[in-house]
Structure 1
Amino acid sequence: MSGVMLNWKQAYASKITTVEQAIKLIPRGRRILIGSGAAEPHELVEGLVECGGHLADNDIVHLMTLGPAPYVQPGMEHRFRHTAFFIGHNVRAAVAEGRADFMPVFLSEIPALIRSRRVRIDVAMVQVSPPDRHGYVSLGVSVDIVRAAVEAADLILAEVNPKTPRTHGDSFIHLDRIDALVPVDYGLPELPSKPADEVSTEIARHVASLIPNGATLQLGIGKIPDAVLAALSNHKDLGVHSEMFSDGVMNLVEAGVITGRKKTLLPGKVVTSFLMGSRKLYEWVDDNPVVEMRPSNFTNDPFNVARNEGMVAVNSALAVDLTGQVAADTLMGNFFSGIGGQVDFIRGAARSHGGKPIIALPSTAKGASRILPVLEEGAGVVTSRGDVRYVVTEFGVADLWGKNIRQRTLALIEIAHPDFRAELLNAAKARRYVFADQITSENLYPWEETRTTQLRTGQTVELRPARLSDEEALQDLFYRLSDDSTYRRFMAYKNVHPHSEMQKLVDSDYEHNMALLATRSDGSEEQILAMARYDVDPGTRLADIAFVVQDEWQGHGLGTLLMRRMSEIAQARGVSGFTADVLDSNKPMLMVFHKSGLHVRSETEDSTRHLTLLFDALDKEDKSRVRSG
């Protein structure tokens, strides 16, 4: 054993060289892969320009780098041609000006392209940790496509940096594979977290509401992912299977929120391909068996992603059109970033049992809407309208799965910025996406009024304000009503419930009128169980109120819950009380009003009771009882 150890130590010593000597080993006309992200070998990269005077027509490829990228500067064209799998800020101008190329490809497929030599890698320039006592070095914080490159390349040049953490998983290579070693000693580039702004915080709140305890997460790096992680501090037993992550994941692991106990693929492990963050993060992953660094062909493989039950993938976009198409790699006709892992994880999460693929984006950018009637000319569709399920902005969540174009259009307009909703609706009408008489609302949806509660049977229901996109579900409720229930609601026999009437029932300004729904989800589609609506008379400040409950849900206490909640909402908005017309034979509804705790004044005309319920008639003790139920 000592002889083997001595042999690798001798080999290690024999491979130590300088940047200049290492660069001289690179032949002309060969393709060079540069290590990714925070593991970019900066001194070797600088050496390409400073010491590579002999080079000509060398193609440089990489996933994403953080350094200055001197090889794409003007004047380097005769020596280097650059191809990016993902366009970062350091090469964006070169790609836009035609001095560099962009290769659109799913991140999960790049290792196979490299191994098959369809994308030939002749030289791999990487950064590694010092060797262990067995002669193995670690690729540190970037395994992604680098693993395939060091297996396929003819020449491997490596910086040996004591600041590179030794990471677990599939990050180790033996010194035998490396041709030249350049000792360096510098800190890895850090990517500081940016404080969340109000928009990111609201987006994160909506995304967090979609994430159940025990879910496995994929998130990127940036303000929105950081804000989402911060919003998950009260969740339990979350897991991570993500192509990359930053400090937010570390913080939740240390807080006991991320445990991986519920993961169905590599339980207990935080699985990723590359990391970017603070020095604390790099120190945390050093020799940390909880973190598994896996190559992109494993981590991003949609079939592996789907093996995680309850997989929630959160990805960003530059724009979304009203049909659900997602543009994520082009901006104003120019290539901006790349496909990356978005489609890998969107499709993997969609295949996961209980999975949720989510696209999250601010509703505007530089004063323009990011939800568009159609994508701009030159915009690239990264995620198709068939792949999209949830779209989230600071104004809410649009659930598009299984929805037709009209339904998608209404849902997306509802989460667009209010300043652009009328414009989007007019554009949708011009394209015949929606009814010609379709209305829209520029009012902010009052998410804060949503409540989850239990019926006396123990079943959980959600009470929330109605939206225009609830029209068809409400229509379904009315068509399911018995003739008797329909008569009690409308005081007439009514067997048709057209769009023109239904959209008025779900249209609210949330101030002078309010429609409140009781809903329940069976894990897929939300069902409306009951509805209450009030409309305020501006002269008297009294609100006329009416209720409807599905036949099979009558007698479960839904009317009482809705009455209690509507009383709270109305009083908070300065409403003086309620009025209602109820058939004398509608004993259950009369009971709801009389049990409300409000003072009820009743007048009877023919077979109809005219009820008036005043909030001001209550003393403080009574008001407290109404609020608490």
Structure 2
Amino acid sequence: MKPLDPAEWPRLVLPGSRVFLAGGASVPFALVGSMLARADQLKDIELVHIHGLGETPWIEPRYENVLRTNSFFLTPALREAVERGQADYTPCALSEVAWLFQNGQMPLDVALIQVTPPDENGMCSLGVSVDVVKAAVRSARTVIAQINPKMPRTGGDTLIPISRIDRFLESSAPLPEAVRETLDPRHEKLGHYAAQLIEDGSTIQVGLGNSPEAVARALVKHQHLGIHSGMFNDALMELVRCGAADHSRKNYKPGKIIASHVLGSRRLYKFVDGNPDVELHPSDWVNDPHRIARNDHMVAVNGAREIDLTGQVVRDSSGHRFYGGIGALQDFIRGAGRSKGGRPIIVLTSTSDDDGRSRIVTGLEPGSGVCTSRGDVHHVVTEYGVASIYGCSIRERVARLVEIAHPDHRESLLAGAQQRGWLPKYYTRPATSSGVERGWIQFPAGRFYYRPLHPSDMRGLQRFFYSHDEETIRLRYGYHRDRMTGESAYKLAAVDQSRDVALGLFTRDGSQEELRAIGRYYLDDDGTSAEAAFVVHESTRRNGMAGFLLGELAVVAKRRGIETLWASVLPTNHAMAGLFLSAGAKETSHPGEEDRIFRMKVERLAKDRKAYLERKHIHRIDR
């Protein structure tokens, strides 16, 4: 190893060389500056790198005839360089970049890296970026290092012997920091919904962008999380600091934070420096889908630019214009999908930030590249809710994705789906909002998910109907009914929630939901009263579900100015009659009428709701 003499650049970087440049927070800017100072002596250089923080002076137009950038991930500045023809973009999953270097597909002549000073054993640490740097060091003919005493020394597979470094330049400089942006309410809402999909004890990966960041921030009340992520950032560090992530339930690499690079604040860099709980490994190791799948309950959270109604995810382009890169998306989506109890989650706001265009589209714009196939997508989350589409037919996934699109775009999406024959002709009403806050509810029988019914619940409502015994059907409908057609189920599910209300309690297992109770009301013509009806599955009765739903209906009714809820009950339905009487209902039946009619004051129902929940040991799970 020798100190770098700037006069050597023309001999070290020969004409036509392919030069690797470390990325992330490890861009060796001192080396770059030294090399560019001799740019007039260099010829036809290809500079290969991934995403990097800070300035990108090598793409300035004055270097256009000297070097050409080839990046695996595009920043805004690099995107502009690609569009003006000065730079190239190579789409490739991060787990496969090492293969390109090591197997002759993209051989490297020179690697420019940044490392810590050597320890007493002559070993330097790659610090905060191991990712594809380790493979570059192994593959390149010549390795030139910027030795920075301010580079954190990290554990894992980060060490290289000083003998592997051919030239070095000492330069002490703070690492560039990634600014954490202020999230808008849309991101906070989608983060809340995505967090409801993530169980305590899960191992998580969080991708780049505001939407994945919002999910990480929403996990602070979780417990016993683990981390196996390509990127370790401030949001994940905060989960460790607040105690939400203690890695105690990780079955693979227990007790360890696993990542390939660190990107964030100076506080984050200090956190990983010498921290024995943090292990950084190369991207081909961390992002290997088979290795990811070894983590039980692996949850992968990644952003997208748009998704079509069949579930195809676009990440690195919009039409013929390239943005970002593939990164770790497909690696972690597939790894989490193969994990025992794993959950791959795609998160995106329903509309674009600049022009309000829907990011859920009927068909992809020509030129858009599909990074994740429709068969790999499990859960999609926007600020309007969750669409669980894995294993769903085209009809089911179209219906579910329309429901989490922005309300302004739902009708046009439905029309486009109808034109393509993806939905039955009677499926014409987009989902409407009831204003009900969905979430997990703890009952004596267990945990159930509470939310309004959607039009896409038509199939679930059919299954719910056919799971009942004859007596339940008779008590609910007042007569023997032996069939629930798709169209009939649709009409029951696709209520106008701005006028009427239909609420459900569900069990959840991965992407599958099963209805276990329904409560609904239909507004009367006078606008001051509404008819209520309930049905609870036989397996979950005597847990207070009907009473819970009655209280929730009362809250909505009170907010809308409705004064009275009433119900018609068969004489043999003693359980439902008992519920209404205990809620203060007055029976207004007349002699000769078969059904018993109960009328309840909404004001009292809403007031007594809290006491009922306490008495029945029912409570919301607050996260």
TM-score range, shorter chain: over 0.9
**Shift in CA distance, 261/626, structure 1 to aligned 2, threshold 3 Å:** closer
Asked if residue 395 in structure 1 is aligned to residue 396 in structure 2, the reply is: no
Q: Kindly state the Cα deviation for residue 426 of structure 1 after the two structures are TM-superposed.
A: 0.5
Gaps of 5+ in 2: 616-623
SS of 1:570's equivalent?
helix
Conserved? CA contact 1:233–1:257, under 8 Å: yes
Structure 2 residue 178 is matched with structure 1 residue 191: yes
C-alpha RMSD of matched pairs (Å): 2.1
Q: 1:622 to 1:295 in 2, by over 3 A?
A: closer
> Residue type matched to 2:239 in 1?
L
Matched-pair contact (CA < 8 Å) for 1:265–1:307: yes
2:329 matched to which residue of 1?
A: 342
Q: Is the 8 A contact 1:169 1:292 kept in 2?
A: yes
Map of 2:199 onto structure 1: 212
Q: Is the 8 A contact 2:499 2:523 kept in 1?
A: yes
1:284 is paired with a residue whose SS is helix
Residue in 2 that maps onto 1:405: 394
Q: Residues 222-279 of structure 1, C-alpha deviation per residue, up to 9 Å, x if partnerless? A: 3223322221111111111111122122222222221111112211111111111111
* Paired amino acid for 2:475: R
Does residue 427 of the first structure (1) align with residue 411 of the second (2)? no
| Aligned AA (1:378) | G
CA distance in 1, matches of 2:97, 2:436: 42
Aligned: 1:601 with 2:588 = yes
Match of 2:125 in 1: 138
Alignment partner for residue 407 of structure 2, among 415, 418, 426? Answer: 418
Q: 2:246 aligns with which of 251, 259, 262?
A: 259
Of residues 503, 506, 509 in structure 2, which corresponds to 1:519?
506
Q: Give the Cα–Cα distance (whole angstroms) in 2 for the partners of residues 430 and 223 of structure 1.
A: 34
In the TM superposition, what are the counterparts of 1:298-309 in structure 2 within 5 Å? 298-309=285-296
Render the CA deviation track for 1:347-381: whole Å, top value 9, x for unaligned. 00001111110110010012110000001111000
CA contact (8 A) 1:196 1:223 kept: yes
* CA distance 1:447–1:579, change in 2 (3 Å): closer
8 A contact 2:308–2:361 mirrored in 1: yes
Partner Cα separation in structure 2 for residue 191 and residue 268 of structure 1? 26
2:447 counterpart (445, 460, 463): 460
Give the Cα–Cα distance (whole angstroms) in 1 for the partners of residues 75 and 91 of structure 2: 14
> Cα distance 1:413–1:337, how it changes in 2: closer, same or farther (>3 A)?
same
- The match for 2:618 is none
In structure 2, distance between residues paired with 1:387 and 1:325: 9
The corresponding residue for 1:311 is: 298
Deviation at 1:124? 0.3
Report the alpha carbon displacement of residue 527 of structure 1 after superposing the two structures with TM.
Answer: 1.0
The one-letter code of the counterpart of 1:546 is: A
SS in 2 for 1:32: strand
- Equivalent residues of 1:516, 1:562 under 8 A apart: yes
Q: Which amino acid aligns with 2:137?
A: V
- Aligned-partner residue type, residue 397 of structure 1: V
Contact kept in structure 1, 2:390 and 2:511, CA below 8 Å: no
Of the three residues 472, 475, 487, the one matched with 1:485 is 472
2:266 counterpart letter in structure 1: R
Q: Is the 8 A contact 2:434 2:498 kept in 1?
A: no
TM-score (norm 1): 0.93
* Residue type of the alignment partner of 1:151: R
| Matched ranges for 1:148-547 at <5 A | 148-365=135-352, 366-441=355-430, 443-444=432-433, 446-455=435-444, 458-522=445-509, 525-539=512-526, 541-547=528-534
Provide the C-alpha distance between the structure 1 equivalents of 2:390 and 2:30, rounded to a whole number of angstroms. 49
CA contact (8 A) 1:395 1:416 kept: yes
Question: CA offsets per residue over residues 11-67 of structure 1, 9 Å max, x none?
Answer: 5xxx12344435642211111000111101112222332213232122111111234
- 1:66 pairs with 42, 53, 63, which one? 53
Counterpart position of 2:41: 54
Map Cα deviations across residues 137-156 of structure 1 (whole Å, 9 max, x no partner). Answer: 11111100100111111100
Amino acid at match of 1:280: R
Name the aligned partner's letter for residue 306 of structure 1. A
Aligned length: 613
- AA paired with 1:535? Y
Q: Give identity over the alignment, percent.
A: 38
Question: Are the structure 2 counterparts of residues 512 and 73 from structure 1 closer, same or farther at C-alpha, using a change threshold of 3 Å?
Answer: same
Q: Which runs of 5+ in 1 are unaligned?
A: 1-10
After superposition, the Cα gap between the structure-2 partners of 1:625 and 1:113, relative to the gap in structure 1 and judged at 3 Å, is closer
- Report the AA paired with residue 342 of structure 1: L
Q: How many Å apart are 1:294 and its aligned residue?
A: 0.4
Give the letter for the 2:390 counterpart: W
CA distance in 2, matches of 1:408, 1:330: 23
- Structure 1 residue matching 2:290: 3-state secondary structure: helix
What residue is the counterpart of 1:3 in the other structure? none
The worse-fitting range, judged by mean Cα deviation, of 154-163 and 217-226 is 217-226
> 8 Å contact 1:237–1:261 — kept in the other structure?
yes
Match for 1:410: what amino acid? A
Shift of 1:334: 1.1
- Confirm or deny: 8 A CA contact 1:123 1:153 kept in the other structure: yes
The verdict on how the C-alpha distance between 1:626 and 1:239 changes in structure 2, with shifts beyond 3 A counting, is: closer
**TM-score where L is the length of structure 2:** 0.94
Secondary structure (helix, strand or coil) at the match of 2:561 reads coil
SS of the residue 2:77 aligns to? coil
Q: 1:486 Cα shift?
A: 2.0
1:473 is paired with a residue whose SS is: helix
**Which residue of the partner structure matches residue 6 of structure 1?**
none
> Would the alpha carbon gap of residues 593 and 604 (structure 1) be closer, same or farther in structure 2, given more than 3 Å must change?
farther
Q: Does structure 1 retain, via aligned residues, the 8 Å contact 2:209–2:303?
A: no
Q: 1:291 & 1:445 partners in 2: Cα distance?
A: 45
Is the alpha carbon distance of 1:559 and 1:627 closer, same or farther for their aligned partners in structure 2, counting shifts above 3 Å? Answer: closer
Per the TM alignment, residue 169 of structure 1 is displaced from its structure 2 partner at its CA by: 0.8
**Structure 2 counterpart SS, 1:343:** helix
Contact 1:161 1:183 in 2 (8 A): yes
Equivalent residue for 2:558, pick from 557, 571, 580: 571
Are residues 1:92 and 2:79 paired? yes
| 2:548 alignment counterpart | 561
Q: Residues 65-111 of structure 1: CA distance to partner in whole angstroms, max 9, x if unpaired? A: 23433333335343222211112223111212232222111111111
Cα 1:422–1:117 shift into 2, 3 Å: same
- Return the alpha-carbon distance in structure 2 between the equivalents of residues 215 and 97 of structure 1: 44
Q: Distance in 2 between matches of 1:623 and 1:335?
A: 53
How far apart in 2 are the matches of 1:623 and 1:222?
41
Deviations 1:158-198 (A, max 9, x none): 11111111111111111100000101121111111111111
Q: Which amino acid counterpart does residue 404 of structure 1 have in structure 2?
A: S
In 2: Cα distance, 1:29 partner to 1:115 partner: 19
